[in-house]
Amino acid sequence: MANFTINKIRRITQYANAAVPAAENHGVAVEKDDILWTIKDVTDFSVSNGSEMADAVDGDGVVIESYLRSKTAEMSGSNALFDLPLAAAQAGTKLTTGAVEIQFHDILKLEKAATEVTLTKTPKTGGEPKVVYVMNGDGSLGEKLVVGAEGGATYAGGKITFTTSPAATDAVQLFVPYVYEEANAQKFTNFADANTIPGRCVVEGFGKDVCTHELVYFYITAPYAQLAIDGDLNFATDGTHDFTINCKKEYCGEEGLYSVIVC
- Residue 17: phi, psi to the nearest 5? -75, -30
pLDDT score of 121: 96
| pLDDT tens-digit series, residues 18-71 | 999 999 999 999 999 999 999 999 999 999 999 888 888 888 888 888 887 778
Using alpha carbons, select from 14, 73, 61 the residue that is nearest to residue 202.
14
Using alpha carbons, select from 226, 221, 230 the residue that is nearest to residue 199.
226
**34 in Cβ contact with 94 (< 8 Å):** yes
pLDDT score of 251: 84
**245 in Cβ contact with 39 (< 8 Å):** no
Q: Confidence band (pLDDT; 50, 70, 90) for 252?
A: confident
pLDDT score of 167: 93
| pLDDT tens-digit series, residues 73-115 | 999 999 999 999 999 999 999 999 999 999 999 999 999 999 9
Mean per-residue pLDDT of the chain:
93
pLDDT score of 1: 64
| pLDDT tens-digit series, residues 191-203 | 999 999 999 999 9
Helix/strand/coil for 244: strand
Looking at per-residue pLDDT, the higher value among 2 and 135 belongs to 135
pLDDT score of 141: 97
- Angle at alpha carbon of residue 231, lines to 259 and 242, rounded to 5°: 55
How much is the pTM?
0.84
Query: Distance between CA 126 and CA 259 in Å, rounded?
Result: 56
**181 in Cβ contact with 102 (< 8 Å):** yes
